């Protein structure tokens, strides 16, 4: 697994969702996975509880064990793995949910298991200590398994969390999180519009859009792609044309075409910019000609 840099997420997250009466629910199922009242309090009290820190080797060995269970297709072992461990860091959480997400053919079995419901109750550790990859892996697994968790997605949809991820440039993590939240019906506009498109970073826009479209090609849900396309058309086309190179612009237009999305504004912007560049070139040619002769 790629190395990641921990995000320092503020403690105000403990106040998010305080008026909620429900916990994580299963998409398409009327049942609710209830979260105990102590769930939100654990973040604010986490500094006062004893938390022994073992050597890094312990976490590494746990990651290896999770991977072995996945290779052996031992779903029961994965569901029980956290219960048998005193300590579990954000990388272990990330790996565990990444592997659980690969059992999407058995999602009904997973989401109905009491051990999985216990895992959902403890997920604030990912948000409180999480890295971009950990946040992304859990979100992606939620989408694959059809698990809705208002607390989780409201927490990671905070601007401070998003900015921390975007600053590190983890494009795959960004696109996976946007796709997952959109598939489950959570508004990811802050991710898509305010910080990705308005930031004007052409490479990031192109790579994120490409990844989102690739993820959605085998899915009937293209909410993330549509919202990203709308954001580019309405706010990002001029910046993309101005600051992006041919490769980035070409990738975005190709991605829009793959997703059967409108890109008239971007194409028009490219055409106008091309005319401007040609016009500048012609002026320079005249000046050079005059200087020579």
DSSP characters for the chain? ----------GGGGGTTTT----EEETT-S-EE---THHHHHHHTTTTS------HHHHHHHHHHHHHHHHTT-HHHHHHHGGG-S---HHHHHHHHHHHGGGGGGHHHHHT-HHHHHHHHTTHHHHHH--HHHHHHHHHHHHHHTEEEHHHHHHHTSHHHHHHHHHHT-HHHHHHHHHHHHHTT---HIIIIIIIITTT-HHHHHHHHHHHHHHHTT-S--HHHHHHHHHIIIIIHHHHHHH--HHHHHHHHHHHHHTT---HHHHHHHHHHHHHHHHHHHHHHHHHHHHH-
Please check whether residue 34 lies inside any domain of the structure: yes
- Residue 64: per-residue pLDDT: 92
Please check whether residue 59 lies inside any domain of the structure: yes
Beta sheet of 24-26, edge-to-edge order: 32-33, 24-26, 147-149
Angle at 111 between CA 106 and CA 112, to 5 degrees: 100
- Residue 74: per-residue pLDDT: 93
Structure-block tokens of residue 137: 């892996």
Please check whether residue 197 lies inside any domain of the structure: no
CB 147, CB 111: distance < 8 Å: yes
- Residue 219: per-residue pLDDT: 52
Angle at 77 between CA 74 and CA 83, to 5 degrees: 160
Q: How far apart are CA 65 and CA 56, in angstroms?
A: 14
CB 154, CB 16: distance < 8 Å: yes
Please check whether residue 141 lies inside any domain of the structure: yes
- Look up the domain containing 157 and give its range: 1-167
Please check whether residue 66 lies inside any domain of the structure: yes
- Residue 278: per-residue pLDDT: 59
- Residue 41: per-residue pLDDT: 35
- Residue 251: per-residue pLDDT: 79
Please check whether residue 280 lies inside any domain of the structure: no
Please check whether residue 219 lies inside any domain of the structure: no
Please check whether residue 200 lies inside any domain of the structure: no
- Measure Cα distances from 284 to 15, 73, 277, 278, 292 in Å: 60, 66, 11, 10, 12
Residues of the chain with pLDDT under 50: 1-53, 220, 284, 288-289, 291-293
How many residues are listed for the chain in this entry?
A: 293
The tally of domains found in the chain comes to 1
Q: Scan for tokens 């998010």, then name that residue.
A: 16
- pTM for the whole structure: 0.57
- Residue 199: per-residue pLDDT: 60
């Amino acid at each position: 697994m790629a190395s990641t840099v921990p995000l320092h997420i503020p403690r105000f997250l403990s106040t998010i969702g305080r008026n909620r009466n429900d916990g994580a629910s299963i998409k398409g199922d009327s049942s609710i996975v209830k979260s105990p009242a102590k769930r939100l309090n654990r973040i604010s009290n986490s500094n006062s509880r004893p938390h022994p820190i073992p050597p890094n080797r312990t976490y590494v060995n746990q990651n290896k064990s999770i991977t072995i269970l996945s290779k052996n297709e031992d779903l029961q072992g994965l569901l029980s793995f956290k219960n048998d461990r005193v300590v579990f860091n954000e990388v272990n959480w990330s790996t565990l949910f990444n592997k659980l997400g690969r059992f999407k053919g058995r999602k009904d079995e997973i989401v109905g298991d009491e051990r999985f419901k216990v895992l959902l109750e403890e997920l604030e550790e990912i948000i409180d200590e999480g890295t971009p990859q950990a946040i992304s892996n859990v979100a992606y697994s939620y989408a694959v398994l059809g698990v809705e968790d208002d607390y989780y997605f409201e927490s990671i949809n905070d601007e401070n969390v998003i900015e921390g991820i975007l600053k590190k440039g983890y494009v795959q993590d960004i696109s996976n999180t946007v796709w997952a939240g959109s598939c489950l019906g959570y508004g990811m506009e802050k991710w898509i519009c305010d910080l990705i498109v308005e930031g004007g970073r052409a490479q990031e826009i192109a790579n994120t859009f490409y990844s989102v479209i690739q993820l959605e090609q085998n899915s009937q849900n293209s909410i993330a792609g549509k919202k990203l396309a709308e954001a580019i058309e309405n706010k990002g086309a001029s910046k993309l044309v101005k600051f992006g190179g041919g490769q980035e612009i070409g990738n975005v237009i190709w991605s829009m075409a793959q997703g059967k999305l409108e890109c008239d504004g971007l194409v028009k912007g490219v055409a106008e910019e091309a005319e401007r560049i040609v016009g500048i070139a012609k002026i320079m040619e005249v000046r050079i000609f005059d200087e020579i002769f």
